Amino acid sequence: MSRRSGILEFAVLGLLREAPMHGYELRKRLNTSLGIFRAFSYGTLYPCLKTLVANGWLIEEPGSAPEDALAASLAGRRAKIVYRLTAEGKEHFEELLSHTGPDTWEDEHFAARFAFFGQTEREVRMRVLEGRRSRLEERLEKMRASLARTRERLDDYTLELQRHGMESVEREVRWLNELIESERAGRDQRQPGPESSAQQNNTSGETDGLPRHRGAEPSGGTPPGHSTPPDPSDDTAK
């Protein structure tokens, strides 16, 4: 299984943990909530869904709306298939959520993991964030060393492009520092002395790791008021 297909399977399981969906709904959520999947197609999604069904992590159910079934019958098409997470699928997703290895620090995998941080244990979030920061600091050091070696041979535009890339990495490192500090502050609030136990009861176990002054939104969201046009390739059973 390729790294990208593994990320897609993780994201599909995570979205279906929230609620059962049919293929078109899944594709729209992957496009709008997780920008890293903006370019993928039904030809990518349906083999993934079939694999998850074969593994016992999803089950296929017919659409529940009678009018949908009637319309599909009149049009000579099969009714939409709804995908539901099984108990084994939920257990598998929770196991994936606990992983903190180097693959979770990479660009695409980190974006997918971060989108489901609300379902992730605090200690796991901390390890993923610290690993991501360490990976970016290594990348930044290499970029600075490369720029120092080649600066005199670069034209102004190439030099500016490299500077832009470095600034982007530096911004993400600062953002990660804020997240990590907020996670640590939230953890400290959950372990107060006896005199502050009343304050502990007012803290949130899942979301108090986020910075209070800014939102941490997954990349690639759709602006308010915009919607994804209907896809002509309906999500009938393949």
Quick: pLDDT tens for 167-181: 999 999 999 999 999
> Residue 105 pLDDT more than 70?
yes
Question: By mean pLDDT, which of 46-50, 125-129, 170-174 is the weakest?
Answer: 46-50
pTM of the model: 0.70
> Residue 13 pLDDT more than 90?
yes
Question: What type of residue sits at position 213?
Answer: H
Predicted confidence (pLDDT) per residue in 171-230, tens digit: 999 999 999 999 998 876 555 544 444 444 444 444 455 654 444 444 444 433 444 444
DSSP state of 83: E
CB-neighbour burial class of residue 10 (10 A; exposed 0-12, middle 13-18, buried 19+): buried
The runs of H, that is alpha helices, within the chain are: 3-18, 23-33, 42-54, 66-74, 87-97, 107-115, 122-150, 156-189, 197-200
The better pLDDT of the pair 224, 128 is held by: 128
Q: Which of 184, 112, 176 is nearest to 140 (CA)?
A: 176
Cα 178 versus chain centre, distance: 19
**Alpha carbon distance, N-terminus to C-terminus of the chain:** 21
Q: What percent of the chain lies above the pLDDT cut of 70? A: 66
Report, as an integer, the average pLDDT of 100-117. Answer: 90
53-84 b/e (C-beta count within 10 Å ≥ 16 → b) = beeebbeeeebeeeeeeeebeeeeeebbbbbe
The better pLDDT of the pair 141, 209 is held by: 141
pLDDT at 65: 56
> Residue 47 pLDDT more than 60?
yes
> Residue 51 pLDDT more than 60?
yes
Question: What does the block give as tokens for 79?
Answer: 């009714």
List Cβ neighbours of 221 (8 Å cut-off, separation of 6 or more): 32, 33, 35
CB-neighbour burial class of residue 110 (10 A; exposed 0-12, middle 13-18, buried 19+): buried
Question: How high does pLDDT run on average in the chain?
Answer: 78
> Residue 130 pLDDT more than 50?
yes
Distance CA 201, CA 211 (A): 19
pLDDT at 129: 97
Q: What percent of the chain lies above the pLDDT cut of 90? A: 50
> Residue 74 pLDDT more than 80?
no
Q: Please report where in the chains the tokens 């304050």 appear, as a residue.
A: 199
pLDDT at 108: 81
CB-neighbour burial class of residue 34 (10 A; exposed 0-12, middle 13-18, buried 19+): buried
pLDDT at 104: 92
Quickly state the pLDDT bin for 42 (edges 50, 70, 90): low
